[in-house]
Amino acid sequence: MYKEEVKATLPASAFSCCLSRYQCLDYMVVEREKANVALREELLKYQRWCHELVKGRMPEGLKKMLSEHPAPGIRRSNKCNKCNKWI
């Protein structure tokens, strides 16, 4: 059904309500698609990093990411200052 046909069969307030709901849903779909694209790009970056690591090379940006986001459970303050070993 086209917008004109729907408009002819519904009162103005109902049509306005349906149209605003449609616009809201459309906006939500567009935002979700943007988020999916961003996640796909991030996934592809990590795949490239894995391929580089398998080849024995350090991927660009990996050291920076690891220093900014240390692995959970590792406390950097538990290193002995004298022998430089983890306690």
pLDDT, tens digit, 9 for 90 and up, residues 64-85: 888 887 777 655 556 666 666 6
For residue 33, the model assigns a pLDDT of: 96
For residue 65, the model assigns a pLDDT of: 87
- Domain extent listing, the chain: 3-69
Average pLDDT over residues 42-71: 90
* Alpha carbons 18 and 53: distance in angstroms, whole number: 52
Q: pLDDT higher for 10 or 56?
A: 56
- What's the predicted TM-score (pTM) here? 0.55
Is the pLDDT at 54 greater than 90, yes or no?
yes
